[in-house]
Amino acid sequence: MLRLALRLVNATSYRGGPRHVGRRSYSVSPVQMSVKRKQVTLDALFGGSKKVKSEVKSEAKPEVKPEARLEDSNSKVKNSTPTPTPPGSSSNAAVVSNIPFAELCDTFQAIEETSSRLAITAICSKFLYSVLERDAKSLVPVTLLFIHKLGPDYEPGLELGLGESLLIKTISEACGKTTQQIRNKYREIGDLGEIAMQARNVQPTMFKPKPLTVGEVFNNLVAIAKASGKDSQSKKSSLIKKMLTACKGFEAKFLIRSLESKLRIGLAEKTVLIAVSKAILTHEHKGEEPSADMVERAESLIRDAFCQIPNYEIIITTALEHGIMNLDQHIKLKPGIPLQPMLAKPTKSISEVLDRFQGTRFTCEYKYDGERAQVHLLSDGTMRIYSRNGEDMTERYPEINVSDYIRKEAAAGESTAPVVTSFILDSEAVAWDQEQNKILPFQVLSTRKRKGVELKDVKVRVCLFAFDILCLNDEPLINKSLSERRDILRATFDPTPGQFVFANEITTTNLDELQKYLDQSVKDSCEGLMVKMLDGEESHYEPSKRSRNWLKLKKDYLDGVGDSLDLVVLGAYYGRGKRTGTYGGFLLGCYNQDTEEFETCCKIGTGFSDEMLQTLYDRLQHTTVEHPSTNVIYDSSAPADVWFEPSMLFEVLTADLSLSPVYKAGFEAYGKGISLRFPRFVRIRDDKGVTDATSSDQVIEFYESQASVRGQ
């Protein structure tokens, strides 16, 4: 109850008043401390009577009348029906949407000024419903802009995240300011979006520009993301200036933030999914608001669909064509589109494993120290290899061609050889010593280039350890038991030592055998064991879920918190003594999935070799920023010497966790943050993005699972 009460107190005070100490954003600017309170109502934006009180923190914010814009847009935008993109593909055609960009930005502003999660969901869903009623095809680009994406993660060339130098230069040129003026203001308030809005709204214009539309902005953002070559910077700058000169009201603020890929309005992707579900249901029921149970069911269907086909364009158009409640009948995993991998929960003892799987059949597999590799064979014969976060790694592994390992002869008990046209495998790519026929450490694998790898240049070979098959000949297998999937895997492929093999495994419930197997896994250069439910519905493959039906048991972590943590590098401290000339330590943080912010949790300085410190210095010095991003929560009493744009994850071990008045991880739960005691660097996690970092909720879970805390 105490934890719940603290969460409620923080939820109502955290975003409504000045930001947490140490957070640098326009809301704590000295110039803006004497702001006036202003009431933004859902009635003003979308009709209705529900009101949301909030505090607006903007120096000379423009007066905006969203209701007038809605009336104008209603007369301009005609109803239309969507032309769904066929599942399995993503449209590359230009987006056509006449929804005013100003409406979207007014909605972003209303969300930023609101602390209640329910009110934020209501704002989102009502706006999305208004979009659906006028132009259903516009729901896809609007939804993507809500979550600051331009398309699915597995499609290359759709990332923004432009650097501050380019944006400062472009804002100064578009708004008639010097770069020094922009930089000085940036040091003061730390928000380029707010700066661009203020500069744009006091800039006189000779001619009234044509209002921006969602379609125009979206297409320009895609063009900016895809721009490459020697003139790419000037092309990007030109497109940004063209949009900035047409911006009014809040448009410049959220255009710049979108270019940074950081809306920073406290809008979590889960909230957007709920809002999309509610909007589509309301649209399907001719304006009648759906029940909470129906919205929850629809949101679950969208979430499950996204785990199998992580492409909002496909999911939304399919929902509009067939009905959102029928998504599970029309969205199926498909080779060529990476599904989100199933994950395991950590455990700290073999006895804990036996307690969890008591009375059931389970299996143990080696936990290999490599890189998760999801291998796809498409029906046209092409092969794709994806990382755990959906990145296409095919060109990184030119030596892998899994088609070579499809059985040419019938397996035992079968009359004919398998006919294989497509598949999806879950596996681990591990560095392999071909002379000594043994596994090499992950650090060796990480020395391989990530792009443009030629087979003749490969010095570190990999062996693929396959442990699951998720699809065969376009038939999904995830709802079959693990024992069935394992049988299909072995009947379909013929292993070749040192190239393609099945994960080492045993099935036993004997405590001594398990202990010996764990010890042997470590001797064989593995991290420990993966323990999995073998039969029944609980053994089905659950995409993206960190399931208790898969447990990981790591030898190194049995005396710690049960697992390593993947933390974001937020800042660094200058090295002294023999570390002079490099960074001597680093400030790390976890990721709060609800607020989309990074919360500091420790300073780390152990576990680094001199070579690794030099490597980190060389890689990170190019990501330095003048002050921390506005989505970094830290305490001003413990600042870093150097701040980075979040771009790298460290895997970290820790002895235990404790409450801290300095660090901010999970501070909403206890009123204090949680910090790591005696953290030790393990490796860089290049296979994960910063939003895949250990979450604040996971840090809280690790802290509460400690015996010392449970006994309080």
Residues belonging to the active site = 367
The H-or-E segment that residue 138 falls in is none
Given a contact cutoff of 8 angstroms between Cβ atoms, the answer to whether 392 and 385 are in contact is yes
Phi, psi of 353, deg, nearest 5: -65, -45
- The structure tokens listed for 131 are 């979009």
Q: 500-502 and 462-472: which strand pairing?
A: parallel
Coil, strand or helix at 533: strand
* Beta-ladder partners of 504: none
Q: Tell me the DSSP string of 211-235.
A: PPBHHHHHHHHHHHHH--STTHHHH
Q: What angle do the packed helices 192-201 and 251-260 form, to 10 degrees?
A: 150
For 341-364, b/e burial (b = at least 16 CB within 10 A) is: bbebbbbbebeebeebbeeebbbb
> Strand runs (DSSP E) across 423-522, as ranges?
423-433, 438-439, 462-472, 475-476, 500-502, 505-506
What amino acid is encoded at 347 in this protein?
T
User: Given the structure tokens 């700290």, which residue do they identify?
Assistant: 348
Phi, psi of 201, deg, nearest 5: -80, -10
For residue 490, count CB atoms less than 10 angstroms from its CB and return exposed for 0-12, middle for 13-18, buried for 19 or more.
middle
Strand order in the sheet with 343-347: 343-347, 546-554, 528-533, 362-367, 505-506
Distance between CA atoms of residues 227 and 163, nearest Å: 14
Distance between CA atoms of residues 239 and 225, nearest Å: 11
Distance between CA atoms of residues 597 and 267, nearest Å: 10
Distance between CA atoms of residues 351 and 581, nearest Å: 48
